[in-house]
Amino acid sequence: MESNKVLTILLVAALFVSVFGTLSAINRLEGFQSLTGLWGVANGTAPTYAATNLTISSLLNVNFTDDTADFGSGYISAGFDACTIATDGTETSGCVGFTIPNGLLLENQGNRHAKLNISNTNYSNSLLGGTASGYAWMWDDPEGDATCIGGNFTGNESAWSNLTGVINEANYQSNNVLCGLFNFSDASDLINISIKFHIDQTAYAREVSDTWIIYAIDVSPS
């Protein structure tokens, strides 16, 4: 009877040792801390954490990347009534000596859509002089219609508009809209402004210039 008692105690002890050994093995292999099932603490060390963070800054940046249209100097050939030159490559046969420059190129270099308002500073009906001289401009969208969304209210896209006075008005920033929404996408972020001069043979010998101003207003969603 005494020997049976000892055997029972030994069996219980053996069972305890077996369970304890199993839990110890699980703790080592799986990172379990106790019977609660907590995971992530190994060898008594506390868990460690990391984070990533990124802020994209807002940038409204519209620039003339081609900001000069210099036609140089020239004259009207004998026997011709006029000379017409333009940044779109137009040069009539009566023109001598002039250089045909590129147009004025606007680029949206930021990451915000912009509303564009346009102004010029130095036009009058006598800019070139003579009896039938003229000054005109147009804008076009070299990358496709997605560049300018919302229409234009000043000037014509791909059609010449005669300048019979200064575009600039006292409140031009709200009235003279060139483009309702100027896209900032790299595939659609260019606007070309073309300039044309029609020089009558009665035009005075002089140097003329005009300055064009673009005012950009952020219209991207907040």
Q: Is residue 50 part of a domain?
A: no
Q: Tokens 């030994």 sit at which residue? A: 10
pLDDT of res. 15: 43
3-state SS assignment for residue 168: coil
**Could you give the number of structural domains in the chain?**
2
For residues 80 and 169, what is the distance between their CA atoms, to the nearest angstrom?
37
Stretch 110-130: mean pLDDT, rounded? Answer: 86
Q: Is the pTM of this model over 0.85?
A: no
Flag whether pLDDT at 106 surpasses 80. Answer: yes
Range of the domain at 23: 1-43
Residues 18, 81 within the same domain? no
Q: Are residues 111 and 205 in the same domain?
A: yes
Q: How far apart are CA 153 and CA 156, in angstroms?
A: 8
| Amino acid (one-letter) located at 168 | N
Query: If you search the block for the tokens 């219980």, which residue do you land on?
Result: 12
Number of Cβ within 10 Å of residue 190's Cβ equals 21
| Co-location of 175 and 125 in the same domain | yes
How does strand 82-86 pair with strand 62-66? unpaired
Assigned domain for 24 exists:
yes
Least reliable range by pLDDT among 4-8, 40-44, 46-50, 53-57: 4-8
Identify the DSSP state of 45.
P
Closest CA to 148 of 179, 107, 104: 179
Nearest of 191, 182, 189, 193 to residue 218 by alpha carbon: 182
The percentage of residues in the chain with a pLDDT greater than 90, rounded to a whole number, is 46
Radius of gyration, alpha carbons of the chain = 39
